[in-house]
Amino acid sequence: MPLLRRKRRLRSQNANTQGRSGAGGRQDRGADTRPLPSVSLTQQELLDLWRFDWAARKIVTIPVSDALREEWRYTGLGEQEQAIARALDNLGAVEALRRALIIERLLGGAAILMGVQDSEDDPQQALALDQVRQNHLRFLNVIARPRLALAEVVSDPFAANYGQPAIYLINGQRVHASRLLVFDGQPLSYDGSLMSFGRQWGAGFGDSVLQPLMDDLMRATGTRQAAFHLVNSASLLLIRADIGALQATDAGNERLAELEEIARQLSLYRAALLDNGPAGGTEVAALPTSFGSVPELLMAFLQVLSAASDIPATRFLGQAPGGLNATGTSDLENYYNSIDAYQAQRIKPQLLKLLRVLHPSVTGRPLPDSVDIEFPPLWNLSEKESADIRQIDANVIVTLAAGGIIGGHEAFSEAQQRGLISATAEPQPDHDDDDSAPP
């Protein structure tokens, strides 16, 4: 009976070193090799990924950080530009925008409530811009997706805004869409007609950016954890002995206890005690572990994750590009072009909507139609590329001036606009050869 209990205990101890995939980690994501079911991640699962998975957090935050890295510029505001910029700072607009964009990418939607004191002061009524007066815009509150629900959609197919949201619910209170800067996660439809049956979220919002990447996140994390356990088992020790014979005598029991203590000291990840039977004797063997191409495998999973998230490896991993004559500049240039599109399509419309409310609140006058927002380019040319462009511009201007196509003042103005000469330089008067000769 003691022998049977001891064998059962040894089998249980050895089983603790193995996971479902043989990687050695029973709680590892990625230990299960089955494909994930087609279900939506819950809010808690998404928040747990945000808290505990560095790759998931980078996927969510990097595009937002890059999109808001440089301060945008206004055109057409004139002398009111500084006053508008100060008002945005006082309202904490950039921080509110950053939080809303991160929540949108993480949970599939968010909104910024513009606290406007208009004439009716009824949040479920459409905001009348012509009734906004100075200091009417009081605050900007970020509303997370769990506190936000779409209540009404325009159902008249002959209306210009057919299918667009009309009323939202914030903690159960009805708020008109005109009072919100909504970041909806780009759903295919707002009425829920194209929403999958398994979704746990309501209509009017999209999915988290982590939803389609969950399989790759799981595999990348599981591979790293499996590699860690492989390091732990780099010098695996196997001890084979006749456990029954050793238990027959007191001296044998002491010897068996010593062997178990040796295995315990080496940790269960590195040693195992097996029953070798009466004819096997006692054997001690070390099994070497080959790491082979484990580093390349780890990087391959991370690079797949980088490609799936549309973030180049040089930005996502801080990794130098691989391959002959590879510089990574083309990947970064394409990525920053996608960020430019993100700014123009997702951020700029909401900023203009905010500006239409902020401008009368600051100046008391409606926003001019000529006002626009420009984001500075994120991709900067190298010094050589900039010098080549300046050289080409200078050659074109000199050629046009020498051919009499443009005059000296026009050439000077064009060179000044292109940054070839200082903006404070003064144009020199034109002198003909005959006029410059001494009398």
Find out whether 205 and 185 touch, Cβ atoms under 8 Å.
yes
Neighbouring residues of 323: CB distance < 8 A, sequence distance ≥ 6: none
| 182: three-class secondary structure by DSSP | strand
Task: Give Dmax (Cα) for the chain.
Answer: 131
How confident is the model at residue 422, as a pLDDT?
Answer: 66
Cβ(97)–Cβ(107) below 8 Å: no
Q: Are strands 271-275 and 235-241 parallel, antiparallel or unpaired?
A: parallel
Q: Who has greater pLDDT, 163 or 14?
A: 163
What's the rounded Cα separation, in Å, for the pair 99 and 414? Answer: 43
Q: Check if the beta carbon of residue 280 is closer than 8 Å to that of residue 22.
A: no
pTM of this structure: 0.70
On whether the CB atoms of residues 88 and 97 are closer than 8 A, the answer is no
Kindly give the interhelix angle for 214-232 and 54-67, rounded to the nearest 10 degrees.
130
Tokens of 106: 């993480």
Long-range Cβ contacts of 2-7 (<8 Å, 24+ apart): 2/247, 3/243, 3/244, 3/247, 6/243, 6/247, 6/256, 7/243, 7/275
- Tens digits of per-residue pLDDT, 247-296? 778 777 877 787 777 666 655 445 555 555 555 555 555 556 666 677 78
Q: Supply the pLDDT for residue 96.
A: 96
* Tally of CB atoms within 10 A around 353: 16
- List pLDDT tens digits, range 216-257: 888 888 888 777 777 766 666 666 767 777 777 877 787 778
Instruction: Supply the pLDDT for residue 270.
Output: 56
- Nearest CA to 189 out of 215, 164, 169, 156 is that of 164
CB atoms within 10 A of CB 261: 10
Cα separation of 420 and 396, whole Å?
12
Q: Please tell me the least confidently modeled range out of 3-17, 105-119, 371-385.
A: 3-17
**Exposure on the CB side of residue 93, measured as CA atoms within 13 A:** 23
The pLDDT value given to residue 358: 94
Query: pLDDT digit string (tens) for 172-183?
Result: 899 999 999 999
Q: What angle do CA 83, 86, 89 make, to 5 degrees?
A: 155
Confidence band for 59, pLDDT divided at 50, 70 and 90: very high
Specify whether the backbone of 192 is left (phi greater than 0), alpha (psi in -120 to 50) or beta: left
169-196 burial: b if 16+ Cβ within 10 Å, else e: bbeeeebbbebbbbbbbebeebbeeebe
Query: What is the end-to-end Cα distance of the chain in Å, rounded?
Result: 130
Residue 416 pLDDT > 60? yes
Q: How far apart are CA 197 and CA 159, in angstroms?
A: 28
Check if the beta carbon of residue 85 is closer than 8 Å to that of residue 363.
no
- Gap between the Cα atoms of 358 and 143, Å rounded: 19
Distance between CA 63 and CA 57 in Å, rounded?
A: 11
Q: What residues pair up with 370 in beta bridges, in sequence order?
A: none
- Give the number of residues written for the chain: 439
- String of DSSP letters for 323-366: STT--SHHHHHHHHHHHHHHIIIIIHHHHHHHHHHHHHHHHSSP
CB contact at 8 A, 144 and 107: yes
**145: nearest Cα among 171, 167, 166:** 171
What is the token pair recorded at 207?
């999915």
CA–chain centroid gap for 80, Å, is: 34
